[in-house]
Amino acid sequence: MQVLEPNIIIIQGKGLLKWVFPCFKKIKPIIKNVLYKGRINHSNAFIAAFSHPSARGKYRWDNPQSPYLLNIVLPTIRRIHHEVYQNEKGDAEKKSKYGTGTFITKKLI
């Protein structure tokens, strides 16, 4: 992770956080147990922690109609989009304090 300097990290399996968090400094929760901001190698980054898509029961999100996808994953991605690209519309590429990135905005988001 030090070489890549990522600015958006998606964790698929909340159990992985115990290995990911030590890589970051100044971790701040944005959405309790789901979305965090942190610093890695002088770069700001968002860390979104979701269950694994094939998890059992209410945490499963491997189909477009699953409640976890619609109620947790999509709103979190929208929040990241808003935080990083709040003044952009449609396809957006913007250099910000979170680095350079591209979001392709579709109806789903």
d(CA 30, CA 28): 6
Under DSSP, is residue 43 helix (H, G, I), strand (E, B) or coil? strand
pLDDT tens for each residue of 45-86: 899 999 999 999 999 999 999 999 999 999 999 999 888 776
The answer for residues whose C-beta is within 8 angstroms of residue 88's C-beta and 6 or more apart is: 94, 103
Higher-scoring residue by pLDDT: 54, 89:
54
The answer for residues whose C-beta is within 8 angstroms of residue 108's C-beta and 6 or more apart is: 74
For residue 12 the two structure tokens come to 């698929």
User: pTM, whole model, 2 decimals?
Assistant: 0.71
pLDDT at 6 over 80: no
Average pLDDT over residues 36-44: 87
Banded pLDDT at 15 (limits 50, 70, 90) = confident
CB 29 within 8 A of CB 76: no
Domain ranges of the chain: 8-103
Which pLDDT score, from 0 to 100, does residue 28 have? 94
